[in-house]
Structure 1
């Protein structure tokens, strides 16, 4: 099947065969390839990943696929924004190919394989969304094996996801370099997210303070405050802002996401948070 070139300025591959054919043609010319996996509803954070990919390789593929297997039954899969035409317009000049399969192509009838990880996937998001990372790992493995890029780039806002993908790629010997792209933030510091559109004006104002609490809590730990004390104070501040629920505010080893047994960082550390305000669940993180 030829690439879809009627709808957008950028060609679109709808299945694995067309994606592989396009990549193979680039390979015959000795060109390097980057993959930027997304679920669409693109914002400046996503576009910064495409820019990073362009700076590192000759060819850039951006995948757009709202992956059903990483959503729990009570989550927002059906409501998740799907804006392919607008996304394609934003990618003009930034990507050479969009890979936009449907669920039947990614998970054909009889599909029965799941990739699950222990360790890095279990705390934090793994505790509150126990099926999430199996869905992420499975779809990312499929995307990497379909495109076989030289590098794949993921945003650091989903820090635990990045750690899970790095672990999976290392464990399965998938010959792709995994890079993280810096978190892009709004003017008040709120991490950019496709779900920010769900916020009411009042919720948006409170959400803009989440990064401030993280930064000041991280600074407190760096100054010598015990992790448990700093995290408890930070959690109270987040709830005082008007957040309805705090799933976690934790300071963990940046690579393994293991807790520090002596209540003080002994290696490179990251502070991570997940909190719900109104209908919107926000995550964020930053180095300590």
Structure 2
């Protein structure tokens, strides 16, 4: 297994193994790997001749310094988890200085309005940071395919728009959300939850399932009101937002249209730990 901490060393290795005639899959992560990440790796390995995983906590996509500081980091354990999928996966675990070359700032990006919805509205600058690191990784690895989980569905749409607007020759592949046995969407942040909070957090998916059921017979506003009222009854949670949005534009739905796909998006705090999730509604 090859592990690289410098982008120059990774680029040299990829050149040496002759990647111009091979397909490359890239799985960008911030580490603290879980089964969802490993499923992305498995899919990449099955569809490409070479798979690269990046493990990098990107500081420019955090607008909360405490969240950045507390984000779980354990690269050695992550490497062992990658090994369970395949010994042939290439690991890229760079430092901040190697990626940003002493200038740890993000570049501005426009995503045709996708960046102003939900996460963008509540985390200013977040998607500039996402665009900055993803574009850098694409330039370093030059993948054929890149794999992202649908738990961060807005991010998935943002990356697809990035590829489209900047004419980057990569296919962005969205992969299903992996959930824990109680329905909680797998996330690296789940590690910060106590056992009790982790079980309580199963409420998020239960309410999303209820919202999906109600969406078939009720208006978007009625479903949103239901979610808000339900969380208000559970003081352990602080609901930041629940939005029903058009999957393509991410614009909040005012009224339902039969020719559009809708998704419910949620961000909620439990014990000051922020969790996000989403569900297809039709």
State the Cα distance separating 1:113 from its structure 2 match: 5.6
Whether the aligned pair in 1 keeps the contact of 2:60 and 2:106 (CA below 8 Å) is no
Q: Distance in 1 between matches of 2:186 and 2:70?
A: 18
Normalising by structure 2, we get a TM-score of 0.93
Corresponding residue number in structure 2 for 1:7 = none
Please tell me whether residue 174 in structure 1 is matched to residue 165 in structure 2. Answer: no
Q: Distance in 1 between matches of 2:161 and 2:202?
A: 32
State the Cα distance separating 1:145 from its structure 2 match: 0.7
5+ residue gaps, structure 1, are 1-9
State the Cα distance separating 1:130 from its structure 2 match: 1.1
Q: Distance in 1 between matches of 2:172 and 2:214?
A: 31
SS of the residue 2:67 aligns to: coil
Whether the aligned pair in 1 keeps the contact of 2:96 and 2:104 (CA below 8 Å) is no
Normalising by structure 1, we get a TM-score of 0.91
Please tell me whether residue 35 in structure 1 is matched to residue 26 in structure 2. Answer: yes
Task: Give matches, 1:165-204, under 5 Å.
Answer: 165-204=159-198
Task: Give matches, 1:1-288, under 5 Å.
Answer: 10-27=1-18, 30-92=21-83, 93-94=85-86, 95-110=88-103, 114-118=107-111, 119-222=113-216, 224-263=217-256, 266-288=259-281
Q: Identify which range, 175-184 or 23-32, moves more after superposition.
A: 23-32
Whether the aligned pair in 1 keeps the contact of 2:179 and 2:186 (CA below 8 Å) is yes
Q: Distance in 2 between matches of 1:96 and 1:283?
A: 29
Taking structure 1 as reference, are residues 41 and 256 closer, same or farther at Cα in structure 2, changes over 3 Å only?
Answer: same
Taking structure 1 as reference, are residues 15 and 265 closer, same or farther at Cα in structure 2, changes over 3 Å only?
Answer: farther
State the Cα distance separating 1:129 from its structure 2 match: 0.3
Whether the aligned pair in 1 keeps the contact of 2:26 and 2:147 (CA below 8 Å) is yes
SS of the residue 1:272 aligns to: strand
State the Cα distance separating 1:138 from its structure 2 match: 0.5
Whether the aligned pair in 2 keeps the contact of 1:206 and 1:241 (CA below 8 Å) is no
Whether the aligned pair in 2 keeps the contact of 1:54 and 1:60 (CA below 8 Å) is yes
SS of the residue 1:179 aligns to: strand
Whether the aligned pair in 2 keeps the contact of 1:228 and 1:263 (CA below 8 Å) is no
Q: Identify which range, 105-114 or 227-236, moves more after superposition.
A: 105-114
SS of the residue 1:141 aligns to: helix
SS of the residue 2:241 aligns to: strand
Whether the aligned pair in 2 keeps the contact of 1:152 and 1:177 (CA below 8 Å) is yes
CA root-mean-square deviation = 1.7
- How many aligned residue pairs are there? 278
Taking structure 1 as reference, are residues 37 and 28 closer, same or farther at Cα in structure 2, changes over 3 Å only?
Answer: closer
SS of the residue 2:21 aligns to: coil
Higher helix share: 2
Q: Distance in 1 between matches of 2:123 and 2:132?
A: 15
